[in-house]
């Protein structure tokens, strides 16, 4: 999936999470879910995040390859362990994890699948898949965007009550 779709997926996942878990702080969860939604593609030097950190992207690609370690449960566990242990705001780590999970789900919906069980080499994909950049991906992105707009209006209306008149 493209970076744009991952951002939209991460934001939608964050909004669903804060809706069902009101103790989560949306001002931490939303931005860090967005960051997390791009993080797994650090293994790809042409990705949005890979272009920002080209040396790290190259190293990860050399050591692990594309869509392997950073698209696995192992990566999720490492980020979760480091985040909850060393970062004082747990919602920040939760946001990051939500974004990473949304990324893994979206990439598992591509023909290539992901190496979810890395270091095992088997590819895992959802029963229904599509190509990156396809019309189906565009449709998914538009539907998720619509959900984000509607859900944000509800959420921020509650958080920042605006009085009219
Ligand atoms: Zn990816």
151 Cα to the center of ligand 1, angstroms: 25
107 Cα to the center of ligand 1, angstroms: 6
Q: Is the pLDDT of residue 165 over 70?
A: no
161 Cα to the center of ligand 1, angstroms: 37
- pLDDT > 70: what percent of the chain? 97
Nearest alpha-carbon partner for 26 in 156, 164, 165: 156
CB atoms near residue 71 (< 10 Å): 27
28 Cα to the center of ligand 1, angstroms: 23
Model pLDDT, residue 16? 95
DSSP 8-state symbol, 114: B
Model pLDDT, residue 139? 95
- Domain membership of residue 165 (yes or no) is no
| Number of domains composing the chain | 1
What does the pLDDT average to over 93-104? 97
- Domain membership of residue 22 (yes or no) is yes
What does the pLDDT average to over 73-87? 96
Is-cis flag, bond preceding 119, omega within 30? yes
DSSP 8-state symbol, 66: T
Over its C-alpha atoms, the chain yields an Rg (Å, rounded) of 16
What does the pLDDT average to over 5-25? 95
Contact call for residues 130 and 137 (beta carbons, < 8 A): yes
Model pLDDT, residue 53? 84
104 Cα to the center of ligand 1, angstroms: 7
157 Cα to the center of ligand 1, angstroms: 33
162 Cα to the center of ligand 1, angstroms: 39
In 3-state terms, what secondary structure has residue 3?
helix
135 Cα to the center of ligand 1, angstroms: 18
Give 25's strand partners: none
134 Cα to the center of ligand 1, angstroms: 15
- Domain membership of residue 133 (yes or no) is yes
Q: How confident is the model at residue 63 (pLDDT cuts 50, 70, 90)?
A: confident
Nearest alpha-carbon partner for 92 in 152, 41, 33: 33
Sign (positive or negative) of CA dihedral 58, 63, 68, 74: negative
- Domain membership of residue 164 (yes or no) is no
pLDDT in tens, 40-61: 998 887 888 888 888 888 888 7
- Domain membership of residue 11 (yes or no) is yes
40 Cα to the center of ligand 1, angstroms: 6
What does the pLDDT average to over 124-151? 94
What does the pLDDT average to over 54-69? 82
Give the range of the structural domain holding residue 43, as residue numbers without chain letter.
3-159
Q: How high does pLDDT run on average in the chain?
A: 91
List CB contacts of 52: < 8 A, sequence separation 6 or more: none
Model pLDDT, residue 162? 62
- Domain membership of residue 136 (yes or no) is yes
Least confident range from 20-29, 133-142, 148-157: namely: 148-157
């Amino acid at each position: 999936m493209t970076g744009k779709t991952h951002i939209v997926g991460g934001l939608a996942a964050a909004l669903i999470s804060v809706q069902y878990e009101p103790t989560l702080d949306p001002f931490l969860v939303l931005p860090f879910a967005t960051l997390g939604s791009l993080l797994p593609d650090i293994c790809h030097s042409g990705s949005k995040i890979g272009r920002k950190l080209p040396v790290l992207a190259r190293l990860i690609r050399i050591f692990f390859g594309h869509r392997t370690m950073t698209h696995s449960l192992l990566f999720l566990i490492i980020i979760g362990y480091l985040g909850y242990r060393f970062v004082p705001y747990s919602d920040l780590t939760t946001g990051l994890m939500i974004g990473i999970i949304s990324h893994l789900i979206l990439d598992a919906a591509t023909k290539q699948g992901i190496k979810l069980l890395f270091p095992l080499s088997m590819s895992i994909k959802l029963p229904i898949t599509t190509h990156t950049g396809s019309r189906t991906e565009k449709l998914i992105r538009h539907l998720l965007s619509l959900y984000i707009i509607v859900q944000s209006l509800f959420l921020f209306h509650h958080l920042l009550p605006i009085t009219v008149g």
